[in-house]
Amino acid sequence: MNLFNIQESVQGVAEAISAVLDVDVTIVDSHLNRVAATGKYKDLIGEKLPKDCFFELVSKQKEPEFVDKPNISSKCIPCSLRGKCDELATIGYPILHKGELLGVIGLIAFNETQRNKIYRDYDSLIVFLGKLGELLAGTLQYIRTINELTIQSQEIKMIVNGLENGIICVDNEGNIKFINLKVEGLLKMKGHDLINKSIYHVIPELKAYQNSQIPAEIKISVGGKRKSFIIRTIPVMVGDQKVSHIMELNKTSHMVADAYRLIGGTRRVSFEQIIGDSPKIAEVKDIARKVASSKSAVLLTGESGTGKELFARAIHDASNRSHMPFVAINCASIPDNLLESELFGYEGGAFTGASKQGQMGKLELANGGTLFLDEIGDLPLHLQPKLLRVLQDGVFMRLGGKEYISVDFRLIAATNKDLKEMIKSGEFREDLYYRLNVIPIHIPPLRERIEDIDKLSEYLLEKYCYMLGISKKYFSDDVKRAFYRYRWPGNVRELENVVEYLVNIVKGDEIRFEYLPSNIRDSVKDYSTKVHSPCNLKDLLDKYERDILESYLKTYGNSTEDKEKIASVLGINLSTLYRKLNKYNLQ
């Protein structure tokens, strides 16, 4: 059996796939001759593929394969076009009939949008291609019916029903030919009751978008409520003739989630990536892990630079909302007069200078995911009751809008301010505070977890050596001691800045005390001078041991329980600790 026997039908399938998925398609026979193609390769139909190309690997293994960046992929090393290929990514799926290879279907990305779509939807596309492969294999025995099977058969309906977007197929007069299950769920309608009815009578709001191939936001009445969707219309062409239209429909929130994943929402943070295992930070990580699956609001408190956003991202990525957007906004970095529109969005023409199309706000963008409000203590007083209402009712209205928008997001707020003192001074609403402070998590400053300094500084040193393409460096003992004695008012952020500075300026392998920034040298110079003054080794060791014990007492406290914790951290018996404290007159 040869696919060239049904070449016209195979070409129709390729064009249909390309129209629905918006990627290029190539279908070859078992000898790797191009039977059908769309886009760039359409003019190469009938020609053999380049020697040792990726499709040859698929045909030999008789298994689906995915190749990303063919010019550098190990799967494409033998290919004669390696280094000159314009493809960014390709899925190859073998067409099999009772174990016999009939050909290969390929989905090809020539731009980043197509590549991300293939990468993101890989599993569903493999199911999709499997169904199509079965369809093409069966079609070789039913040549006359291939066009009907491609458009109308139950197999195709099942494939279209499996797509993540809502699909409405209408003829040139707007009469409904097919609605997939996704649309039925989105609009609460049954497709079999709507066949042959005018889509513009069923959903009048679509009339204005019947010829728009550009995605547009549209509000549709569903169950008595107005809901926001993204609509795009795709004409179906047979030759030069337009025979029908495919309307692609999706929830605005789903489109936004996809966009966030594409433009930077892929940054993931696990609790294992938060460096440190001191008792205080271990306790914080344990609490954060436990509450990650909750829907309740979290209030992260701590000094600037302690890693509050890192914890917020880790909580989000450990939750069941991790596949949805993590939307962050710093309440202190946006002017008061713009912050409201940033949070709530606005309708077109809502105020002077507003975009005619309007704009979604961060509340709407975070729908289904997590909203992180950093520096919540800087939220203007007049916006606090508006935020409180969203948290209480789950609805809000855009600036200049007339309709309520429902949202469901998990709120994580963070501040380095004392909100209770701000309540007393009338700068922060008490009711909002208690709405935010459902799960309070305090992140300790670096000076209270000095046990982590070694691990943090070594991790950051390795990170910046790698980032800057510099050979591995190491800290001298003087620098390590200075790191322990310094108070780190800027916390982990300051430590990171210092390490990056040192990696940049130190040319040798050893980072010595004299290379430290002057503020750190001045802070610990008395200690440094004593260390370098002439004395015997025992005095040096005693001095170092006394300083460590003194620092731990300041960090953990002086009670019996505190001393038990210090002994545990140092790995010594409590009795040994008491003996050393007495030795240095630290009791």
DSSP conformational letter for 241 = E
With 80 as the cut, is the pLDDT of residue 216 above it?
A: no
pLDDT above 70 covers what percent of the chain? 86
Do 314 and 382 fall within a single domain?
A: yes
| pLDDT (mean) for 130-150 | 66
On whether the CB atoms of residues 537 and 572 are closer than 8 A, the answer is no
Do 293 and 402 fall within a single domain?
A: yes
Do 350 and 397 fall within a single domain?
A: yes
On whether the CB atoms of residues 368 and 323 are closer than 8 A, the answer is no
On whether the CB atoms of residues 24 and 12 are closer than 8 A, the answer is no
What distances in angstroms separate CA 170 from CA 196, 200, 205, 235, 504, one per listed residue?
9, 10, 15, 10, 63
* CATH number, domain with residue 388: 3.40.50.300
pLDDT for position 484: 87
The DSSP annotation for 31-72 comes to T-BEEEE-GGGGGGTTSBPPTT-HHHHHHHHTS-EEEESTTT
The tokens for 149 are: 């099977």
Q: How far apart are CA 103 and CA 444, in angstroms?
A: 61
Show the domain range for 312.
267-442
What are the pLDDT digits (tens) for 102-136?
A: 899 999 999 988 888 888 888 888 888 888 888 88
Do 430 and 464 fall within a single domain?
A: no
Flag whether 311 is in a domain.
yes
pLDDT above 90 covers what percent of the chain? 36
* CATH number, domain with residue 555: 1.10.8.60
Do 59 and 207 fall within a single domain?
A: no
Model confidence at 154, pLDDT cuts 50, 70, 90, reads low
Do 116 and 59 fall within a single domain?
A: yes
Residue 93 sits at the vertex; the CA angle it makes with 89 and 96, to the nearest 5 degrees, is: 165
- In total, how many domains does the chain have? 4
* CATH number, domain with residue 216: 3.30.450.20
Do 367 and 516 fall within a single domain?
A: no
Q: CA end-to-end span of the chain, whole Å?
A: 91
Q: How far apart are CA 511 and CA 360, in angstroms?
A: 49
Do 213 and 282 fall within a single domain?
A: no
3-state secondary structure of 428: coil
Flag whether 89 is in a domain.
yes
Model confidence at 68, pLDDT cuts 50, 70, 90, reads confident
Q: Which of 107, 126, 156 is the last residue of a domain?
A: 156
Q: Among residues 342, 15, 20, which one has the least CA distance to residue 163? A: 20
Q: How far apart are CA 129 and CA 95, in angstroms?
A: 9
| pLDDT (mean) for 359-374 | 88
Q: Which long-range contacts (CB under 8 A, 24 or more apart) does 55-63 make?
A: 55/26, 55/28, 55/92, 55/104, 55/106, 56/32, 57/92, 58/92, 58/93, 58/94, 58/104, 59/30, 59/32, 59/94, 59/101, 59/104, 61/94, 62/94, 62/96, 62/99, 62/101, 63/94
Flag whether 259 is in a domain.
no
Q: Which of 156, 191, 214 is the last residue of a domain?
A: 156
The tokens for 167 are: 């699909």
Flag whether 120 is in a domain.
yes
Do 529 and 500 fall within a single domain?
A: yes
With 90 as the cut, is the pLDDT of residue 498 above it?
A: yes
Highest mean pLDDT out of 16-25, 413-422, 448-457, 524-533: 413-422
The residue assigned the tokens 């009938």 is 46
What are the pLDDT digits (tens) for 157-212?
A: 666 666 667 788 888 888 888 888 877 777 777 767 778 888 888 878 777 766 66
Q: What is the pTM of this model?
A: 0.54
Do 146 and 56 fall within a single domain?
A: yes
pLDDT for position 547: 83
Q: Which of the two residues, 113 and 268, has the higher pLDDT score?
A: 113
The tokens for 163 are: 């797509």
Flag whether 262 is in a domain.
no
On whether the CB atoms of residues 2 and 137 are closer than 8 A, the answer is no
Q: Among residues 182, 137, 136, 184, which one has the least CA distance to residue 163? A: 182
2: exposed, middle or buried (Cβ count in 10 Å: 0-12, 13-18, 19+): middle
The tokens for 322 are: 């991790």
Flag whether 260 is in a domain.
no
What are the pLDDT digits (tens) for 384-442?
A: 999 999 999 999 988 888 778 888 999 999 999 999 999 999 999 999 999 999 999 99
3-state secondary structure of 534: coil
The residue assigned the tokens 């390795």 is 462
3-state secondary structure of 95: strand
Do 9 and 144 fall within a single domain?
A: yes
How many of the other CB atoms lie within 10 Å of CB of 228?
18
Tell me phi and psi for residue 121, to 5 degrees.
-100, 25
pLDDT for position 233: 80
Interacting residues of 385 by C-beta distance below 8 A, sequence separation 6+? 429, 432
Q: Indicate the average pLDDT of the chain.
A: 84
Flag whether 388 is in a domain.
yes
Q: Which of 124, 156, 188 is the last residue of a domain?
A: 156
Tell me phi and psi for residue 281, to 5 degrees.
-75, -30
What are the pLDDT digits (tens) for 517-557?
A: 999 988 886 544 444 444 566 776 777 888 888 888 888 88
Flag whether 368 is in a domain.
yes
Do 391 and 473 fall within a single domain?
A: no
